[in-house]
Amino acid sequence: MNIHTGSPNPTTALRTGPFADALRAAITARGLSLDSLQRHLADRGVRVGTATLSCWQNGRRRPERPSSLRAVSALEDILGLPSGSLLVLLGPPRPRGHGIGLPAGSREYRHILPTWAALTGLLASLGTAADTKLHIAAQHEQVWIDATGSSPRRETFQVLRAHQDSVDRYVAIVDADPGADIERVDLEALENCRVGRIRRDAEAGLLVAELLFDLTLRPNQTHLIRYAVVDRSAVECSDFHRGFRFPAGQYALQVRFDQQRLPVACFAYQGSTEQELPMTGHHAVHINVAPVPPGIVGIRWDWR
């Protein structure tokens, strides 16, 4: 349990950290309530709940998702802090070695997904600590955004390569949109696979599912699968991203919008790099990354 008896001096906290102390001190110094802070963020197109802000300033959670890191950058501006002064207190991911038989440069889930602890439990319930026998030679994804701003369907096409022996399944991981009900999220097998066991964690908003092959792969052998994620939660979303544990050959992502609900701007991001994307006449934007380093790659958009 974290027990806080007060807020330290903002200047000292920014210099020494930790992140939670610095954020709490800056909020106190500005005299802002969490409700007011949330409204300031919303005015900048950043959606963060007051419960999340409370957890950040009390040290119960820390921002790690790309959308959360963008929120921290906005908080620096709102609180009148030097650019990057809060972000730097979060520090880089802790270096970890890759396991035997894994591609060089592999990263652990803790460096990619903030709900990695829940994910580890879900994977363990399937009898595996992680999806360590396959990596992605190529992945193409199509995301549809409907007139309500939600994403009811996403399709994924993957070229998978085995780097260990006796591989007969792929473990798909679905990180639901904020506010989505994971019980209303399902997986559909479309080509060269069938759905096996499914596990969900409602609090973490995670789903993991086995996609079973009709053959067993040997090292360096490839397999093509296609599957869809169907989300009936109907929550507005403004971001889609993928986390890659292993280096991948290629990643192409297209987001297509209903013409009745078009964003004002779309941006590609990879790590800390962001670039505005042009929209086609078919109301779509895309990215193509090759090769793909381990980490986060995605597209975000602003509704207003």
Q: What is the SS3 string spanning 117-161?
A: HHHHHHHHHCCCCCCCCEEEEEEEEEEEECCCCECCEEEEEEEEE
* Mean pLDDT within 258-265: 96
Q: 35 with 83, same domain?
A: yes
**Residues 99/186, Cβ–Cβ less than 8 Å:** no
Q: Give yes or no for residue 112 having a pLDDT over 60.
A: yes
Domain-located, residue 103:
no
**Percent of the chain clearing pLDDT 90 (strictly above):** 49
Same domain, 76 and 134: no
In terms of domains, do 245 and 121 share one?
yes
3-state secondary structure of 242: strand
Has residue 129 got a pLDDT over 80? no
Average pLDDT, the chain: 86
The number of distinct structural domains making up the chain is 2
| pLDDT at residue 139, as a whole number | 97
On whether both 75 and 139 belong to a single domain, the answer is no
Instruction: Specify the DSSP class assigned to residue 113.
Output: -
The least confident of 50-64, 88-102, 214-228, 269-283 is 88-102
Output the domain CATH number for residue 21. Answer: 1.10.260
Among the three residues 90, 125, 151, which one is the final residue of a domain in this structure?
Answer: 90
- Does a structural domain hold residue 97? no
Same domain for 76 and 114, yes or no, is no
Is 101 inside any structural domain?
no
Q: How many helices (H) and strands (E) does the chain have?
A: 7, 13
Give domain status of residue 210, yes or no.
yes
In this model, does residue 264 exceed pLDDT 90?
A: yes
Task: Kindly report the backbone phi and psi dihedral angles of residue 53, in degrees, each rounded to the nearest multiple of 5, phi listed first.
Answer: -60, -40
Tell the residue number behind the tokens 């994910």, with chain if given.
Answer: 119
Q: Which of 3-17, 72-86, 206-220, 251-265 has the lowest mean pLDDT?
A: 3-17
Same domain, 72 and 221: no
Centre a 10 Å sphere on the Cβ of residue 178 and count the other Cβ atoms it contains: 18
Do 259 and 119 sit in the same domain of this protein? yes
Residue ranges in the chain assigned as alpha helix (H): 10-16, 19-30, 34-43, 50-58, 66-78, 87-90, 116-125
Higher-confidence residue of 112 and 172: namely 172
Per-residue pLDDT, 86: 83
Main-chain phi, psi angles of 27, to 5 degrees:
-65, -45
Residue 166 lies in a domain: yes
CATH number of 245's domain? 2.60.40
> Of 62, 90, 118, which one is at a domain's C-terminal end?
90
Query: Band of the pLDDT at 130, cuts 50, 70, 90?
Result: very low
pTM equals 0.66
Question: How many angstroms separate the CA atoms of 140 and 155, rounded?
Answer: 8
Q: What are the backbone angles phi and psi of residue 134, rounded to the nearest 5°? A: -130, 150
Per-residue pLDDT at 110: 77
What's the confidence (pLDDT) of residue 241?
Answer: 94
Residue 255: predicted pLDDT: 98
**Does residue 255 share a domain with residue 201?**
yes
pLDDT at position 97 is 39
Is 225 found in the same domain as 146? yes
Tokens 């009898």 belong to which residue? 127
Considering the domain architecture, whether residues 142 and 74 belong to the same structural domain is answered as no
Q: Is residue 96 part of a domain?
A: no
Classify residue 160: in a domain, yes or no. yes
User: Are 81 and 151 members of one domain?
Assistant: no
Alpha carbon distance 213, 70 (integer Å): 39
Tell me the C-alpha distance between 180 and 150, whole Å: 10
Q: Which of 26, 55, 90 is the last residue of a domain?
A: 90
What does the alpha-carbon distance between residue 123 and residue 165 come to, in Å, rounded to a whole number? 19
Domain that holds residue 284: 109-302
Q: What tokens were used for 53?
A: 């802000």
Are 156 and 141 within 8 A, CB to CB?
yes
Residue 161 lies in a domain: yes
- Say whether both 132 and 65 belong to one domain: no
**Residues 4-17, mean pLDDT to the nearest whole number:** 60
pLDDT digits (tens, 9 = 90+) for 145-173: 999 999 999 999 999 988 777 889 999 99
Residue with tokens 């419960």: 51
Residue 174 confidence class, pLDDT cut points 50, 70, 90 = very high
Residue 187: per-residue pLDDT: 96
